[in-house]
Chains A and B, each alone.
Chain A
Amino acid sequence: MAWYDDSSLYYGAPAEVLAQGDIVVATTGVFEGDRGDVSPASPLYFGEERLVQVWLGSTRTLPEAPSLGLRARWGLAMVLPHACALEKEFNERVADLVAAGHMQPEAEHLANNDVSLDRFIALAPLCTYGELAPERHTGVQTGARLGAFPVPENVSTGIPPAWVDLRRISTTDVTLVDVEPMRLASLSSLAQAHLQAALAKHWAYRDLSRYDELQRAFGQRITAVVPISTGKKLRVGFTLEDGAQLVFDASDKPLPQPNAPARRPRPSRS
């Protein structure tokens, strides 16, 4: 059992405030082209989507905006920003108020009452495996597939085996989700770390496993990586577990071709 299929490893105790990886009841949405109708009513079911008309253009030319629809989804969604990002403006305001002579509790009270601080939160919808092609299931369930993050079943909250679609991230007013009872579950520190890696891999398209490959190539753990600024030329210093220091210089020269094993010609069948 690993973090992605063991709920005791995946889920953790909720923090006092909203935290990265929290699973909340929320609306997410994707803008689409000239489609959709006025929504007849609020969705009644989790996972329900409505394509609603947002704008109706008339000229089909710039500078007027085009006709626009919104595919709005109601259900469970995962909080993506780190807690520090969710409290940045709040902390700055408290610091400013304290600097202006307020006592800390009063400053926190005033800042808590300002709903404009840290107003936006990025959420991604939880989807069921029925919404995913069967050949993708294993890659998503094991956390290997870029653009997806697995969610194992959580019996106590009724969350089924699901996955987070990182391609459908949308922004929501935080007051719609940062209140009881909208939070259903929270992640463990381990699952939060995997979420951070999944976000970096998806958004920067960088493969963090290369770090492991470097450690295997060095034969021991890397304890520090330091970029050394030398003007235009890239130089990076590595510190290994035994204290050894390695410094690598970037080069524009192409790597030599690896020597392919020589193949003997096949004997003629004739």
Chain B
Amino acid sequence: MSAAPLRRKVTKGRVVRTPEGFEVGQSVHFVSVSPRTWIMTLEPVEEAERLAAALPVAPTSPWSEAMTRVQGIAHAAGRRPREAGPVEFDSTTSDAEALAFATIVAPKRRPRGTRGVVR
């Protein structure tokens, strides 16, 4: 199954800090350029959408197949119903048990004053 092309996104925002050419409180539009890059513009939404359409196609994401599988599904929040199981009781750890864990299952390296060995 081929990956669906990633669509451009234009969304509204409001300036809270002032990059050059902008003032606090101004309404702006953000145009996505790539997954990590946006253009902030004072242009109206129609012009912002025209700008978005004129931009080069965003690079294909390694996640595009996974995104295609879930595209269009509504967000949801909640919790799957659970059935009761045995209660996991809290328990103490004796010195001997702790030392046995730390000794038999050997440390990767001893603590040092410096950051030490690269693994």
Contact = CB atoms under 8 A, between A and B. Distances in A.
A139 to B, nearest CB: 9
B77 A176 contact: yes
B80 A16 contact: yes
B82 to A, nearest CB: 5
B69 A175 contact: no
Nearest to A162: B62
A89 to B, nearest CB: 10
A162 to B, nearest CB: 8
B76 interface: yes
Q: Binding site of B, secondary structure by majority: helix, strand, loop or mixed?
A: loop
Nearest to B111: A205
Given A16-B80, A178-B80, A88 B73 contact: no
A198 interface: no
A158 B66 contact: yes
Interface string B88-119: 10000011110111111111110000000001
A224 interface: no
B13 A181 contact: no
B108 A146 contact: yes
Contacts of B50: none
A204 to B, nearest CB: 8
Contacts of B20: none
A49 B100 contact: no
B20 to A, nearest CB: 14
Contacts of B109: 205
B83 A108 contact: yes
A92 B86 CA distance: 9
Contacts of A229: 94-96
A14 B1 CA distance: 23
A174 to B, nearest CB: 7
Interface in A120-137: 128, 130
A5 to B, nearest CB: 17
Given A178-B80, A205-B109, A43 B35 contact: yes
Contact of B70 (A48, A84, A181, A228): A181
Contact of A157 (B9, B69, B83, B86): B69
Interface string A206-235: 111011001000000000010111101011
A179 B9 contact: no
Nearest to A178: B79
B26 interface: no
Given A130-B62, A225-B100, A207 B82 contact: no
Given A184-B70, A250-B103, 18 more contacts: A18-B80, A40-B30, A40-B38, A44-B7, A46-B66, A47-B35, A49-B36, A108-B83, A112-B82, A175-B78, A179-B76, A181-B70, A204-B101, A206-B102, A210-B104, A214-B104, A229-B94, A234-B99
* In the A-B complex, the 5 residue pairs with the closest CB atoms: A158-B65, A46-B63, A227-B100, A158-B66, A94-B84
6 contacts: A45-B61, A45-B67, A46-B63, A160-B66, A175-B79, A200-B105
